[in-house]
Structure 1
């Protein structure tokens, strides 16, 4: 899952303006995908997105149902993909179906290089679309992206440490979570290196859960832009709870860096951490340090302030789009209809992803960690669908600055949120 996270959860979404207007930059990027033969459907999916067994069967079934049509299926590497997508989408002969990151979709839609699929939602299995990903494929009231797959964060924990601390079941509310942190500290606190919860100071994806859980949001649509809402009561409450967790756990994670620096899974693998917030795939990274940690690890959804509920989670993942200049748009829609059917989405779930267009997660539910992720995804959400959101993630992220300023005491909560709000407005406000 780390492969797609490079794009879907953190990459900058460069605008197509840098590549010129449509038709100016195709070159050889989409060779073979034009209308000269009239019978070739070119599909670009990313490396690691779908198992070969799935795409092999899918393409065979599609060709059998469309006499004379061949699928030119291409796996694209992550390295350099942003520029390749930019060039392809601006050309006269783009691929016919492309996978793009969910935070990229609004940027491409705003540059008017994607096909409007609003009238096709029902025929593309729209009734089964995962709500959080559905929102990421919308721009200015129209639908441009079809949900493909997603992943989200959960709390990964040491089952053996919980048992030794007398914790018989995972917490189901914020209050219980804080109580369990206190129990873990009481049991293992004599070890100065022990941390009940490893929580970096700039883990803004986690902050989103707390903001949303308290009724706040990052920004709200306003006209053709967005109005930042980081100074709202709900956003402040989410930030306050983040600090509560940091203070209660006594985590030694840096307050001026995120979960990737240092890599939090590696810290967890060291054996001195009882919990961290991450994706199931991070346990495999931790196991490189301690192979036994896989069997010792359990998971539970990020708790809510309301007992028995779970906090909303950020859904990172991919959408499927049809370029505006596709010469085979109708065939492309047929391909998407087949790919998003329960038959193939179930296979995607078996590969460890939350399927974006099916309510059937039974294959994923068989995995203890994946099943928790799938459950939490039902309460998933997307970041604001601003075409400029890539600048937020790739640049001086106001949410990260806000977290560090408040957690270190350099700014009060009112000042930290006001400054972050103003900075975010400068990026996505227009």
Structure 2
């Protein structure tokens, strides 16, 4: 979520392009020598990547005939960069891909199926809803590396000072509680990041989504969606809510405020666990509370996310075999345990949830929320729908656009992506 200097971005882009051309189908190696595969890691370069670099070294020690060229690619750029590289036959052999990218990459012919390969040899040990989310049209195209969902992160000390004894179960309860926090502590009760992903629980709370893939309907502007975003607006207008931040630094600003104890509660995922525990307000890790997000009128829900390791279909047989071994190693129980302990993220297989891993309150808290996670719909264009939704969401919550008209405009843009779908 952090942005570097423009020059650094250019250098990184050139490095990635050069690296991509040395891997995948364009890679070569002597038949008797080691094979070199390229891995694009999209984890946080500052707080998470070091753990994966160490695992790469461990893999190379265990597999002396395979070398791994590690490349850190900013998550926000990775989808487009991979599409460009794969289209020119120069993609990395392995990519750490968001779960929502799978359908589109498969339809474009970029990913190799992993059924029956070494990569999927232990697929029965993974949480099966995550394995299903890594499939498209019945075939497995990724192995889950980490998983996540959204929850309510809150500061227990501030809640206690405000006389709040349990996390709010509904948005109305949250509004009442946040007013108490402001009154009793002087601290803002709640801050919202106006990105589409963080607004999804307000749609799920009214039993709707951006689309209904089975019915081929765009539901972004349905009465239920309007009700959900109206609920969000009512939360943002309530006493004790932090002033809405729509700047490009909103994410970082909100996290800094929460980590330093200047805001009591946020909607967030486990990928921020490690950062939160570095904050002044959470030197005692047990001060972090994690609860299901408040419910709307039709129930509660949060997106089920995470990252899979996927293999590039354009790689030759030798590189594919090496990639499969690498994916198996990086998603093994031992590797996932190491990642969880170092990065505070959630494993995707039950045998990685050891007592040591569960001792982390961030992991223990979020792992209890996974059962209520809503998987992405199996639609190639699904991830692209966040863009028109977010464009209008920011206008709606900033009072530049009425909820219905804003969502109508978002649905019209979604229709361009899904011309065969009907609208409300």
Candidates 63, 78, 89, aligned match of 2:73: 78
Q: Which residue of 1 aligns with 2:347?
A: 355
TM-score for the superposition, normalised by structure 2: 0.75
Query: C-alpha distance in 2, partners of 1:234/1:122?
Result: 41
Candidates 193, 208, 219, aligned match of 2:211: 219
Q: Which residue of 1 aligns with 2:331?
A: 340
Query: C-alpha distance in 2, partners of 1:83/1:206?
Result: 22
Query: C-alpha distance in 1, partners of 2:24/2:293?
Result: 46
Which residues of structure 2 form unaligned runs of 5+? 5-16
Compute the displacement of 1:246 (Å).
Answer: 1.4
Query: C-alpha distance in 1, partners of 2:415/2:56?
Result: 42
Q: Does 2:100 match 1:111?
A: no
**Contact kept in structure 2, 1:115 and 1:321, CA below 8 Å:** yes
Pair 1:301–1:121, CA change in 2 (3 A): farther
Number of residue pairs matched?
393
Q: Which residue of 2 aligns with 1:268?
A: 258
Pair 1:319–1:206, CA change in 2 (3 A): same
Candidates 419, 423, 426, aligned match of 2:416: 426
Q: Which residue of 1 aligns with 2:200?
A: 208
Compute the displacement of 1:278 (Å).
Answer: 2.3
Q: Find the residue that maps to 1:274 and give its secondary structure.
A: strand
Query: C-alpha distance in 1, partners of 2:154/2:345?
Result: 20
Which residues of structure 1 form unaligned runs of 5+? 7-18, 20-24, 64-68
Compute the displacement of 1:216 (Å).
Answer: 0.8
Q: Which residue of 2 aligns with 1:413?
A: 403
Q: Find the residue that maps to 1:277 and give its secondary structure.
A: strand
Pair 1:94–1:37, CA change in 2 (3 A): farther
Q: Which residue of 2 aligns with 1:164?
A: 161
**Contact kept in structure 1, 2:159 and 2:181, CA below 8 Å:** yes
Q: Does 2:234 match 1:244?
A: yes
Q: Which residue of 2 aligns with 1:13?
A: none
Q: Find the residue that maps to 2:352 and give its secondary structure.
A: coil
**Contact kept in structure 2, 1:172 and 1:310, CA below 8 Å:** no
Query: C-alpha distance in 2, partners of 1:240/1:59?
Result: 53
Q: Which residue of 1 aligns with 2:360?
A: 367
Q: Which residue of 2 aligns with 1:89?
A: 86
Instruction: Please list, as runs of the form range in 1=range in 2, the aligned pairs for 1:192-203 lying within 5 A after superposition.
Output: 194-200=187-193, 202-203=194-195
How much is the aligned-residue C-alpha RMSD, in angstroms? Answer: 4.0
**Contact kept in structure 1, 2:93 and 2:312, CA below 8 Å:** yes
Q: Which residue of 2 aligns with 1:54?
A: 55
TM-score for the superposition, normalised by structure 1: 0.74
Query: C-alpha distance in 1, partners of 2:404/2:26?
Result: 56
**Contact kept in structure 2, 1:398 and 1:424, CA below 8 Å:** yes
Query: C-alpha distance in 2, partners of 1:234/1:319?
Result: 35
Pair 1:154–1:115, CA change in 2 (3 A): same
What's the CA shift string for 1:115-168, capped at 9, x where partnerless? 123555994433344466545534445332222223443322222211111122
Compute the displacement of 1:310 (Å).
Answer: 5.9
Compute the displacement of 1:196 (Å).
Answer: 0.9
Q: Which residue of 2 aligns with 1:37?
A: 31
**Contact kept in structure 1, 2:99 and 2:134, CA below 8 Å:** yes
**Contact kept in structure 2, 1:269 and 1:286, CA below 8 Å:** yes
Compute the displacement of 1:260 (Å).
Answer: 2.9
Q: Find the residue that maps to 1:44 and give its secondary structure.
A: strand
Pair 1:404–1:341, CA change in 2 (3 A): closer
Q: Which residue of 2 aligns with 1:379?
A: 372
Instruction: Please list, as runs of the form range in 1=range in 2, the aligned pairs for 1:302-321 lying within 5 A after superposition.
Output: 302-305=292-295, 311-321=301-311
What's the CA shift string for 1:84-140, capped at 9, x where partnerless? 644653566865433333343333322212212355599443334446654553444
Kindly indicate which of the two structures has a greater share of residues assigned to helix.
2
**Contact kept in structure 1, 2:333 and 2:352, CA below 8 Å:** yes
Query: C-alpha distance in 2, partners of 1:283/1:418?
Result: 36
Compute the displacement of 1:299 (Å).
Answer: 2.3
